[in-house]
Amino acid sequence: MITPTPYWYLRHGETDWNRQGLSQGRTDIPLNATGLAQAEAAGRALVANATGDLKIARIVSSPLSRALRTAEVAADCLAHATGHRPLIGMDVGLEEVCFGEQEGQPMGEWYDDWIEGHYTPPGAEPFAFLRDRAVAALNRALVGPDLVLVVAHGALFRALRSAMHLPANVRLPNAVPLLVEPPVGGAPAWTLRRFD
């Protein structure tokens, strides 16, 4: 169960493999020029919207370079605008899912079955394992009194969506900040607000 605390979430910017529709998983593909521009745009969106009670005090990132570079760009934007650069920590639990033999291959028909738990590609991490790992890593990031920005990956956020009682198989665009807020008034699901 996810600790009922609001947080910001940011998927990394685009990579060449994203553009080509290839499964990245743990393969450490860097941001391309578009991804760097997306990370800067995300940083500007956070400067405009992560204010007051929504101010980002800390950033916790996946250690994979596409996420960490996105986190660094966002932190630089916040520092330039506010004079305060949030500290960036890393958590290996936020790494993208291991897709096994599917890494570097086009996304295929197997993806829905993987999320449903009916099929796992050889050498890949089952979706249920990913969900447990993602929830544990998020809960570690949420410890503390200040609002955190989590910078990670698309499949990892699908796992978090599942844990938040939201439809899991929804594609998260690259580098679009989300404010994620816990249920209120007995509602079962969390709410997501996009800041493009």
pLDDT digits (tens, 9 = 90+) for 101-159: 999 999 888 999 999 999 999 999 999 999 999 999 999 999 988 899 999 999 999 99
Joined tokens for residue 18? 């994203």
Percentage, residues of the chain above pLDDT 70: 100
- Among 95, 96, 103, 125, which one carries the catalytic annotation? 96
pLDDT confidence band for 188 (50 / 70 / 90)? confident
Mean of pLDDT values over 73-93: 95
Compute the mean pLDDT over every residue in the chain, rounded to the nearest whole number.
95
Task: Give the CA dihedral 13, 153, 20, 103, nearest 10 degrees.
Answer: 140
First to last CA, the chain: 28
Residue 95 appears among annotated catalytic residues? no
Active site residue 153: no
- With 80 as the cut, is the pLDDT of residue 86 above it? yes
Q: Which positions ≥6 away from 132 have C-beta within 8 Å?
A: none
pLDDT for position 84: 87
